[in-house]
Amino acid sequence: DAGITQSPRHKVTETGTPVTLRCHQTENHRYMYWYRQDPGHGLRLIHYSYGVKDTDKGEVSDGYSVSRSKTEDFLLTLESATSSQTSVYFCAISEQGSDNQPQHFGDGTRLSIL
């Protein structure tokens, strides 16, 4: 399995608090992604990164920010968490190269906003 570690794996917090989720990879892959998964919606892309300090928005980026200061780490921040951001968050990575490099996913972070 691809070396992807998400932390924390579970978190419960209150509305209005800041939350940061971390994705750490040991594969030296160029591309990293953050998804959220909710019942009835499948996985939806929040933000992605195509290199250090290079990021772009995905389908559901409102309320989220990301940072990538080094290749191996991609951080997802909820500046002021809301109950609608209760979800399971997945990080994924893919290798630089041809367009058909598959994405490899972490095991997810279950986030509950009360």
Partner 1 sequence: LAKTTQPISMDSYEGQEVNITCSHNNIATNDYITWYQQFPSQGPRFIIQGYKTKVTNEVASLFIPADRKSSTLSLPRVSLSDTAVYYCLVGKSSGYSTLTFGKGTMLLVSP
- Chain residues binding partner 1 by CB under 8 A are 31, 33, 35, 40-45, 48, 50, 56, 58-59, 90, 92, 94-108
Q: What residue has token string 């990301």? A: 66
The candidate with the shortest Cα–Cα distance to 60, out of 80, 74, 78, 73, is 78
- Name the minimum Å distance from CB 92 to partner 1: 7
Question: Residue 79 or residue 107: which is nearer to partner 1 going by CB?
Answer: 107
Q: What DSSP character marks residue 41? A: T
Q: Closest distance between partner 1 and the C-beta of residue 80, in Å? A: 26
CB of 33 to partner 1, least distance (A): 7
Q: Toward partner 1, which CB reaches closer, 57 or 75? A: 57
Comparison of 91 and 113: residue with beta carbon closer to partner 1 = 91
Instruction: Name 90's bridge partners.
Output: 35
Nearer to partner 1, 85 or 94 (CB): 94
R_g over Cα of the chain: 13
Residue 90: strand, helix, or coil: strand
